[in-house]
Amino acid sequence: MKTIKEYLSTPEGVEQKWNVINEILEGFNFDEVFTAMEAVDWRWVVIGEDKADEMEEDGYDVRWTGIRDDWYEYRPKIQDLRKWAREMLIDTIAKCPDEETEWGRSSGGFETKMCILTDEERKEVFGDDAPDDFEHSVDLRLKFVFGDSGSRFW
């Protein structure tokens, strides 16, 4: 089984990475997430009064959190959701340590997960003749999580 860096060491691997990311983003329902976030008044944090003022001038609904002097919260726009999801997918791939076969992150409600399939898993999913390339060996996921719970161990 290759590492993520090995899958991205060829131009074909890099192209497949972008194709997978774009496919995920095109299939994700950002409108639904935006509507749900509005319904529960879900906001993201911005730090710094200057940045908050800039965002307000750009039409964002910004308010002080009351937690710290320089912490504000704002309701993200759909384009912010798209941009953040894209950045998270890219970052999940880029920061996966060589020895890991599963890697992910979460922020702002988004959760990404990447899993490198074993040779057996790849063949089970795609058949015995499936190439050992990014497209057929790396599973990348994006979801938006409104709630989560668990024990002390993850």
Task: Quote the pLDDT of residue 152.
Answer: 64
Percent of the chain at pLDDT exceeding 90:
88
Q: pLDDT tens, 45-69? A: 999 999 999 999 999 999 998 888 8
More confident residue, 66 or 8: 8
pTM of the complete model: 0.89
For residue 72, give the H/E element and its range. strand 71-74
Report DSSP state, residue 1. -
What pLDDT was estimated at residue 98? 85
CA-only gyration radius of the chain, Å = 19
Judged against a pLDDT cut of 60, whether residue 10 lies above it is answered with yes
For 73-122, write each residue's pLDDT tens digit.
999 999 999 999 999 999 999 999 988 899 999 999 999 999 999 999 99
**Dihedral sign (CA 115, 104, 9, 26):** positive
